[in-house]
Amino acid sequence: MTEKCGVVGISLDGRPASRPLYYGLYALQHRGQESAGIVTHDGFQQHSHVSMGLVGDAFTEGDLKDLNGSAGIGHVRYPTAGSVDSSCAQPFSVSFKSGSLGLSHNGNLVNAAEVREELAGIGHAFTSDGDTEVIAHDLARNLLDADLVRAVKRTMDRIHGSYALTISHDDTIMGVRDPQGNRPLCIGELEDGYILASESAAIDTLDGELVRDVRPGELVVLAEDGSGFDSYQLVDLDDTAHCFFEHVYFARPDSVIDDSLVYEVRRNLGRKLWAESGVESDVVMPVPDSGRAFASGYADAASETTPGGADRPEDDDGVEFAEGLMKNRYVGRTFIMPTQDERERAVRLKLNPIKSTVEGKSITLIDDSIVRGTTSNQLVSLLRDSGAAEVHMRIGAPPIVAPCYMGIDMATREELIAADKTVEEIREEIDADSLAYLSTEAVADVLATDRTDLCMGCVTGEYPYDIAGEETDRPVSRPTIEAAMSADD
């Protein structure tokens, strides 16, 4: 699985925004490593610098100096829709009759092709095949005969899918979250202005204070002098569809998303995992770094109760928590290895067991997910080769049975090991002594929300959006483009 994108938007009282945007993007680097970009506006003119590569490589000191203005937006990207080349790098920027527009998008539209076709039919020329340009063109067209708020509302009525956007219209910075709030976006207060960011870790990096999450369906407009923000609830649905995988996998553990600290959520998921499928073993061990918080919660719960839920006797310490797999931090992520063979080798390059922690022990290995099963199989065999007596695997999320259409590159159904295999068949394939996943109910319980307020499409095969050829888990339908165009707003 690969992360999606990170967005940021900043409006300050006179101070140049480029450097805070740059630091904000650094804090969001885990959300996208293919390209990075910043668009600023100095009150007269828009400035843009977008480059392939990591944030640290994408900007020089001179680039940051040239990005004039106290308002701007930024983006880090991992490609989820559109080509893997610079034409899809963001922020997308365009100048049109009534001003200049910059747009950073995290998420994925499921009706981009329909909107694009309609816009192309009335003369819009596209320079990329990404869905962000579709949103930008639609908004630019609406801004020709509507004020900012009405124009954004019109565009929201036409696009269907997942989006957290930061937008610059000249030196006005805005943030929008799709009506189901699939992707995260939050507001922070800085010493001399305000920030919108995918995750609160970006606000912390700038010594700011998290104000709150942008609400699903809300437009937030930052004041140009950095003094505050206005809120417009443009769409208000009964149910949300927050991506539960943000909490499980994607977001930084130190971020607060939808009012929950990600680290605590992961620890609590680990505690639930013990309650649902705890197994006595000598050692609880995380897969670094993804399984660490889950394993710590699991081991904590295991020190309090037995697998059956009874209190532990005072002389029984439960299960020992130990780091038994050491990570080589200088090896790239497995997803950049193009062939299965190379991906398998990457696990050996990346992780090395500490033999004394492993030898002769029964081990519970904790991770956040199993996608193809290749890594899990490699890890189990790594531990067995180092002398482990038993390897039990526990996963802090339900089995992934279907792909994601909302902006996460998760592999195809054919590649997902759980798409057509039972838990027992997966256990056999990864060669573990036992295997258990967390239930969907446990996830909703830990996130303290109704199941209907979460997107769990990849673990249920039923999505909260109208996706061609897939089932939905609620009454949703794509907007009819012609009808939306003629609607009187």
Give the footprint of ligand SF4 on this chain (CB under 6 A): 182, 243-245, 404, 406, 408, 455-458
Dihedral sign from CA coordinates of 400, 406, 411, 413: positive
Helices (H), 144-287: 148-158, 200-205, 244-245, 262-277
To ligand SF4, the closest distance from the beta carbon of 456 in angstroms equals: 5
In the complex with ligand SF4, the residue whose CB is nearer, 163 or 274, is 163
Contacts of 209 (CB under 8 A, 6+ apart): 188, 189, 203
Give the pair of three-digit tokens for residue 119.
């816009």
Cα gap 298→269, rounded to integer Å: 8
In the complex with ligand SF4, the residue whose CB is nearer, 147 or 259, is 259
Q: Is 5 an active-site residue?
A: yes
Under a CB-based contact definition with an 8 Å cutoff, are residues 407 and 81 in contact?
Answer: yes
In the complex with ligand SF4, the residue whose CB is nearer, 190 or 455, is 455
To ligand SF4, the closest distance from the beta carbon of 175 in angstroms equals: 19
Catalytic residue chosen out of the listed positions 5, 404, 455, 458: 5
Contacts of 348 (CB under 8 A, 6+ apart): 378, 382
What are the backbone angles phi and psi of residue 180, rounded to the nearest 5°? -105, 0
In the complex with ligand SF4, the residue whose CB is nearer, 253 or 307, is 253
In the complex with ligand SF4, the residue whose CB is nearer, 146 or 401, is 401
Nearest to 378 by CA among 419, 348, 402, 352: 348
To ligand SF4, the closest distance from the beta carbon of 383 in angstroms equals: 28
Please give the C-alpha separations between residue 211 and each of 29, 94, 258, in angstroms, as whole numbers. Answer: 22, 30, 12
Contacts of 469 (CB under 8 A, 6+ apart): none
In the complex with ligand SF4, the residue whose CB is nearer, 245 or 263, is 245
Cα gap 343→263, rounded to integer Å: 28
Q: Using the structure block, give the residue that is written with the tokens 């199993």.
A: 370
To ligand SF4, the closest distance from the beta carbon of 143 in angstroms equals: 29
Cα dihedral value 10, 13, 19, 22, nearest 10: -10
To ligand SF4, the closest distance from the beta carbon of 244 in angstroms equals: 5
In the complex with ligand SF4, the residue whose CB is nearer, 59 or 244, is 244
Eight-class DSSP state of 479: P
To ligand SF4, the closest distance from the beta carbon of 75 in angstroms equals: 19
To ligand SF4, the closest distance from the beta carbon of 268 in angstroms equals: 18
Neighbouring-strand partners of residue 311: 305
Under a CB-based contact definition with an 8 Å cutoff, are residues 322 and 357 in contact?
Answer: yes
To ligand SF4, the closest distance from the beta carbon of 406 in angstroms equals: 4
In the complex with ligand SF4, the residue whose CB is nearer, 391 or 455, is 455
State the pairing for strand pair 325-327/242-243.
unpaired
To ligand SF4, the closest distance from the beta carbon of 467 in angstroms equals: 10
Under a CB-based contact definition with an 8 Å cutoff, are residues 163 and 185 in contact?
Answer: no
In the complex with ligand SF4, the residue whose CB is nearer, 242 or 394, is 242
DSSP labels, 105-156:
EEEEESSHHHHHHHHHHTT---SSSSHHHHHHHHHHHHHTSS-HHHHHHHHH
Report the chain's C-alpha Rg in angstroms.
23
Please give the C-alpha separations between residue 313 and each of 5, 302, 306, 310, 317, in angstroms, as whole numbers. Answer: 48, 12, 9, 9, 8
**CB neighbour class for 357 (10 Å; exposed up to 12, middle 13-18, buried from 19):** buried
Residues that are catalytic: 5
